[in-house]
Structure 1
Amino acid sequence: MGNQVDKLSHLSYAEVPTVDPNGVDAEDGPRIGVSYIFSNDDDEMDDGCAVEVTDKDPNQEEKQHEPRDEVECAVFYRDECIYEKSVKSASLDVFSPENLLNKCKAGDLVEFVATGQYPHWAVYVGDFQVVHLHRAEVKNSFLTDASQGRRCRVVNDRYRFKALGADVVVQNAMEQVGLKDRELSWRNSECFAAWCRFGRREFKVGGEIRIGKQPYRLKLLVSDKHAHVLEFQSLEDMIAEKRRNDHLGRTAVLRELATHVSGAGETRGHAGAD
C-alpha cells in the first residue's frame, strides 16, 4: 500500500491531521482524515442502546456478493498492524451457510456478506449455531437463520490480536445471550464477536478515552501504489468507518474519495487566486 493521502471530509465528522502509518509524509500541505464519536452504521446508538438492522428489505432485490467490490484495507495502532483485509484472499473463502458448516469449529468468527449491506459477524458455538448481536439483542441462532441467505466466511485472522481459547470464546458468547438494549456494551455485531474472541475492552462502547492524539490509522487501498489514510481516536470509531466502507463497496468509496479530492482541489485553486 502506498503513501499518497488526499482529503476526505464529511459534515458530521471532526477533521484531524493525518500521517502515513509508516511515518512517511510524501505530500506538502495538510493531510486530513476523519474521526467521529457516533456513526451511521447498521446500528443506531441511543443512550448506549445498539440496534443492528440486518433484516433484508422484502422490496429490495437481492444482490449477489461481489468480492471484487470489497474494500481492501489495513489498520494500524501506532506502528503496529492490528488488522488486514486482502480482497484477493477474502474472495476465495466465501461459501453458502450449508457449505461453511463443514469448515467451522467452535470459537470461530463468521462474517455474513452481501453487496450493499453491512457485514454481519457472529461467533460459531457448535451444533450448527452462532451467537450474534442482532437488533439490540445478543441472540443464539442457527447459522442458516443468522445468515438470512447471505454468503459467509471464517474471519479468525482479520484481527492480529492473540485469540482466547476456543472454550473461553464460546463461554464469552453464551454468557451474553439475552442481553439487550441498554445492557449492551458493543456498538455492532463485529465489535461483539471480536470481543468474544479476543477479550479486549477496546471493542466495547467507551472502552477507550477519545482525547489527545489519534493512535489508530485506517489505510484504504486506492490503487497498487496509492492509499488513503484516516486517523481515529478509538478502535470502536475506526471499525464503524471500516464497516461504512464495506457497506458502500469499493466502487462507491473510490467515487466518494474522487469527489472530495476534486472539491478540495477547487478550494485550493480559489485560495491561490486571491
Structure 2
Amino acid sequence: MGNQVEKLTHLNYKEVPTADPTGMDRDEGPRIGVSYIFSNDDDELEQQQDSGHDLGGEHPALQPYDPQLHEVECSVYYRDECIYQKSFSEEDVLPEEGEEGGRGHLSTYTPENLLNRCKPGDLVEFVCQAQYPHWVVYVGDFQVVHLHRLEVVNSFLTDASQGRRGRIANQLYRYKPLSPAAVVRNALEQVGCKDRDLSWRNSECFAAWCRYGKREFKIGGELRIGKQPYRLQIRLGDKRSHTLEFQSLEDLIMEKRRNDQIGRAAVIQELSSHLQAAEEEDEEEEEDHPHHPGARTAVE
C-alpha cells in the first residue's frame, strides 16, 4: 500500500487498559489507552452525514438535546493535576472571572443567543446528539475561526453552528489562557492552513491551542516514550469511575470526543460490561489460584 497509513479502529473497553488516579476504580492494575493515527473526527462525521443525505435515507428522530442526559462527565489529569473537567455538579466547577459561581456553565444556547454572550477570544463548543462536538474561536463581529474539513476557515458563528446548540467552553480546560488579543491573533493567523500543513487533529485541539498556546494540543506535540502521564477519568455514577491512561493529550482528546459522540448511555454500557467481565475473571482466578491475604492481582 506504499506509504499509506490505515486508520486505527477503536478497541472495545475490554481490550483497553485503564487505571484510576483517585483510587475509585475497581480494576487492579494500570492499563493503557488507545492511540489514534491520522484521524479527523469532524471530517469523518460530516462525510457520513453528507452520504446519508445523498442516499435520501431518513434519519431516526432524535430526542431533544439534554446535556445531563447525553454528555459524559469526566476529568482529565496530567499526573496528579486536573487539567480539564466536565461536571454537572456545581461544587466541581471553577467560577469564571467576574462570576459568582459556575451555575449553568454547561447550559446550551441557540447560535443567535450565543452571539449576545460571546467576547473575542472565547471558545465555543457546539453539541448535538450522536455527533462529535465542534469547537470554534470567536474573533468578534459575529465571526469565528475553526478547523472544518481539514482546513482552518473564517465563518459566521451561525453558519459554523450548522443548527447545533452551543456553549462558551472557556471553563472546561484549566490551563491559564492567553490574552483575548493573542487568542484572536493565533486563530486568524492560521486561516487558510489545510491538509498536510495542519498541526491539529480536530476542531477542539485547534481551538484549545489558540486559547492556551500549548504544544500538547498539536500533532506530535509530545514525545511518546512509553509512559502514560495523562488520565481520562469517566464517571459512571456516585463514587464510581473508570480511568484510561494515555501517552499524549491529543490521544486522550480523541477518546474523550468519541465518548461524546456515542453518548453517555453507550459509554456506561461499554464500561459496565468491561468491569463486570474483569470482576468475573478476578473471581475465577481467585478460585483457581488462592493467594495470601493482602496480595493484589495484577492485570496484564
Same topology, TM > 0.5: yes
Whole-Å separation in 1 of the counterparts to 2:152 and 2:241:
36
Mapped pair 1:158 → 2:172: yes
- C-alpha distance 144-26 of structure 1, shift in aligned 2 (>3 A): closer
Structure 1 residue corresponding to 2:223, chosen from 209, 217, 225: 209
Higher strand share: 1
Alignment partner, residue 275 of structure 2: 261
Mapped pair 1:75 → 2:89: no
The one-letter amino acid paired with 1:120 is H
* Secondary structure at 2:245 match in 1: strand
Mapped pair 1:127 → 2:126: no
Q: Which runs of 5+ in 1 are unaligned?
A: 1-8, 44-50
* Secondary structure at 1:222 match in 2: strand
> Is the 8 Å Cα contact of residues 217 and 249 (structure 2) preserved in structure 1?
yes
* Secondary structure at 2:177 match in 1: coil
Structure having the higher Rg: 2
User: 1:92-241 alignment to 2 at 5 Å?
Assistant: 93-241=107-255
> 1:269 Cα shift?
5.2
Alignment partner, residue 87 of structure 1: 88
> 1:258 Cα shift?
1.6
> 1:272 Cα shift?
5.5
Whole-Å separation in 2 of the counterparts to 1:260 and 1:27:
11
Alignment partner, residue 42 of structure 1: 41
> 1:260 Cα shift?
1.9
> 1:142 Cα shift?
0.6
> 1:62 Cα shift?
6.1
> 1:248 Cα shift?
1.2
* Secondary structure at 2:238 match in 1: coil
> Is the 8 Å Cα contact of residues 143 and 154 (structure 2) preserved in structure 1?
yes
Whole-Å separation in 1 of the counterparts to 2:12 and 2:144:
37
- C-alpha distance 13-130 of structure 1, shift in aligned 2 (>3 A): farther
Whole-Å separation in 2 of the counterparts to 1:62 and 1:130:
30
Whole-Å separation in 2 of the counterparts to 1:13 and 1:193:
32
Q: Which runs of 5+ in 2 are unaligned?
A: 1-9, 90-102, 289-300
Output one character per residue of 1:88-108: Cα deviation in whole Å (capped at 9) or x when no partner.
Answer: 556752100001100000110
Deviates more, 1:179-188 or 1:86-95: 86-95
- C-alpha distance 144-224 of structure 1, shift in aligned 2 (>3 A): same
Identity of aligned residues (%): 56
> What RMSD over aligned residues (CA atoms) do the two structures have, in Å?
2.6
* Secondary structure at 2:178 match in 1: coil
Deviates more, 1:82-91 or 1:55-64: 55-64
Whole-Å separation in 1 of the counterparts to 2:255 and 2:104:
19
Mapped pair 1:250 → 2:264: yes
Alignment partner, residue 29 of structure 1: 28
> 1:224 Cα shift?
1.3
> Is the 8 Å Cα contact of residues 73 and 84 (structure 1) preserved in structure 2?
yes
> Is the 8 Å Cα contact of residues 53 and 134 (structure 1) preserved in structure 2?
no
